[in-house]
Structure 1
């Protein structure tokens, strides 16, 4: 779960070594629209995982009534491109909105 208004660090375990990727996106989608795109520069990538952090502003973009879809896509210098399965999680409610 991603609780709205928080700053979670998310770790995605991968079966493919993405450490040599030249382009990488972690995309978060709701209502048919990508709301958050993390790039290679926003992530720590090693041979078995991709780690990225979300800001309060980013998590506040999420609707707590709809599942969040997440997907990792990457491209390598030889032109090969890969995509993870689409993952789903909930966006958790908060009582007081806004950045604190």
Structure 2
């Protein structure tokens, strides 16, 4: 069973930026690109560094530790040293709030 969780205000995320969201002992990353929102696990699959400290360029998040890159739309790895897909989650904006859909 899944549920939609209120993660943050849409206006709290600048365009081409990422914010951290913690919920139920898990860390997520929420991205804003061209007024669309995306969500993924918040830790890099390579060495479990927080992606919220990374750089967003277009639909790409670059890990702040070893510069591995992922596509925020589907989590696929784009450059070494990352080789494992980043788990992504459905995200939407309603009434100025960003919601992500996760397992209950």
Considering the TM-score relative to the shorter chain, is it more than 0.5?
no
Question: Between Structure 1 and Structure 2, whose CA radius of gyration is higher?
Answer: 1
TM-score by length of 1: 0.31
What TM-score do the two structures reach when normalised by structure 2?
0.30
Instruction: Tell me: higher relative CO, structure 1 or 2? Use CA pairs within 8 A at least 6 residues apart.
Output: 1
